[in-house]
Amino acid sequence: MHFSRNSRRGEVTIDMDFIRCFSGRGVNGKLREMPMGIRLNFAVASIVFSTTLAAQLTEDSQGCKDPKLLTRLPGCFIESCETKDFDQLAIRNGAHKDENDPVKTLEGAVETRAYQCSGKTSPLQVVRNSAAALLKAGYQSVFNGKDENEFLTVTMRQKDQWVQVTSSAGGDNNSITFYTFKAVAVTAMNQEMEATADAIANELQASGHMALYGITFARTPPPPRRNRIKF
């Protein structure tokens, strides 16, 4: 059975060749009767599949939890999540422009969450709730408007902590509201790897050179200039 689901838009696609084979018309266009047993099995499979989809719309993705910075709206669930000790994240800090689009690439500890909500929750409700909660927590507004996809977006900042929430509607008759939480705590990367003396020697022997990064040398000031005394 060939089903595919676009979870971002809430759409389900069924292979039409498969349907034609089991609705009395073959792939080659010739009519043929569907046996009663197959019809019953297909009906049961359709019911089970629909029930599974309904259950998925009310459960968080396995292992995902709300971020500590911002709770979810009631009736929403986490579709996907990601947490990185150090990574890059693109954060919008101004209205979209075709040239020099104001998007900052920040590095640090990164968190992302993708949520799905009932269509009763509007994108405007999502971004306004997010902005109000973050303002109350001491964040300052950086941007509040629409991104390059015309999705409602709010960006907030508190010192080196940045948060962006983007929301849009989708599904049949906008029956699903999607929103994405992105956060980055800007920080330098911890250097956790070392090049041993043996590794350096082997590289020098193999190629004759080796690049070493993160090494700085203190500059020694020149000795004081002595004035000659003439007699």
* pLDDT bracket for residue 22 (50, 70, 90): very low
pTM recorded for the entire structure: 0.64
| Residue 71 predicted with pLDDT over 70 | yes
Do 49 and 81 belong together in one domain?
A: no
Do 113 and 152 belong together in one domain?
A: yes
- Structural domains of the chain, count: 2
| Residue 216 predicted with pLDDT over 50 | yes
For 160-178, write each residue's pLDDT tens digit: 999 999 999 998 888 999 9
Which pairs with CB-CB distance under 8 Å and at least 24 residues apart come from 146-153? 146/95, 146/96, 147/92, 147/96, 148/96, 148/101, 151/123, 152/123, 152/124, 152/126, 152/127, 153/92, 153/127
In a domain, 152, yes or no: yes
Do 127 and 41 belong together in one domain?
A: no
| Residue 214 predicted with pLDDT over 90 | no
* pLDDT bracket for residue 21 (50, 70, 90): very low
Q: Tally helices (H) and strands (E) across the chain.
A: 4, 8
The DSSP annotation for 101-163 comes to --EEEEEEEEEEEEEEEETTS-HHHHHHHHHHHHHHTT-EEEEEEE-TTS-EEEEEEETTEEE
The predicted structure's pLDDT at residue 150: 97
In a domain, 207, yes or no: no
- Mean pLDDT taken over the chain: 80
For 144-165, write each residue's pLDDT tens digit: 999 999 999 999 999 999 999 9
In a domain, 151, yes or no: yes
In a domain, 226, yes or no: no
Q: Could you tell me what percent of the chain has a pLDDT over 70?
A: 67
The predicted structure's pLDDT at residue 54: 40
The predicted structure's pLDDT at residue 5: 44
Q: Kind of pairing, strands 176-186 and 161-170?
A: antiparallel
In a domain, 229, yes or no: no
Structure tokens at 164: 């962006």
In a domain, 129, yes or no: yes
* pLDDT bracket for residue 213 (50, 70, 90): low
**Among the listed ranges 15-19, 62-66, 134-138, which one has the minimum average pLDDT value?**
15-19
For residue 28, give its domain range: 3-56
